Structure 1
Amino acid sequence: MGDKFAVDIDKVIHERARLLILSYLASNSGKKIQFNELKESLSFTSGNLSVQLKNLEEVKYIKIHKRIKDNKPQTSVSLTPEGLKALKEYLKVMEDLIKTVNNQEDN
């Protein structure tokens, strides 16, 4: 039998929608992003985006900001330092996994 193979993957981030959300927020230099911009940019429905944002907020990877402007509710989202750290750690794990697989192909 071979050696045990274990990869410590953040299960919160390792879901397509949440990975896209965190990546989009990180690529926008930590600015607050309006809910509708995020929804349109990622081609999500309002319901799906709301659920995924709640999941990310529960683990403190994002902050959801709500306010009233011109008598209309506005929601924006920002990446927290914890979220950026978790995303970077996730990407490092993925890079290491890719290197491992690529090294096996070379042998």
Structure 2
Amino acid sequence: MDGVIHHPTRLTLVAFLSACDEAEFAAVRDGCQVSDSVLSKNASALEAAGYLNVRKGHVGKRPRTWLSLTPTGRQALAQHLAALQDLVDAARSAAGSVGA
């Protein structure tokens, strides 16, 4: 499992972003149901790991921030989900052998 993505807020953030090419900070914050500070902290951790791109710009005169997964981030999510599925499969297999 990936220790960076395993954190529940980061997993939620990466899962949200996996469904789109790029999303505005406020949309991600609302979709993940976290505060600005929680999103910012976790986005920074994902960016430091190379999993997230942060793009800053303006819409009119208002500053905006957009977030997107890197190819490395998408691959890390896929591998993490596969590892979780392996855990589920192993638990089901173990439970099945106990009940036999």
TM-score, reference length from structure 1: 0.88
Look up the match of 2:65: 75
Question: Residue 32 of structure 2 corresponds to which residue in structure 1?
Answer: 42
| Higher share in helix | 2
Give the match for residue 24 of structure 1.
16
Q: Does 1:92 align with 2:82?
A: yes
User: RMSD across aligned C-alpha pairs, in angstroms?
Assistant: 0.7
- Deviation of the 1:41 alpha carbon: 1.1
- Separation in structure 1 between the aligned mates of residue 31 and residue 73 of structure 2, nearest angstrom: 20
Q: Secondary structure at the match of 2:78?
A: helix
Amino acid at match of 1:76: W
Could you give the per-residue CA deviations for residues 38-60 of structure 1, whole angstroms, max 9, x where no partner exists? 01111110000000000000011
Residues matched between the structures, number:
97
Residue of 45, 48, 73 corresponding to 1:58: 48
Instruction: State the TM-score, normalizing by the size of structure 2.
Output: 0.94
Unaligned stretches of 5+ in structure 1? 1-8
Q: Alignment identity in percent?
A: 27
Q: How does 1:5-16 map to 2 (within 5 A)?
A: 9-16=1-8
Specify every segment of 5 or more residues in structure 2 that has no aligned partner in the other structure, as ranges: none
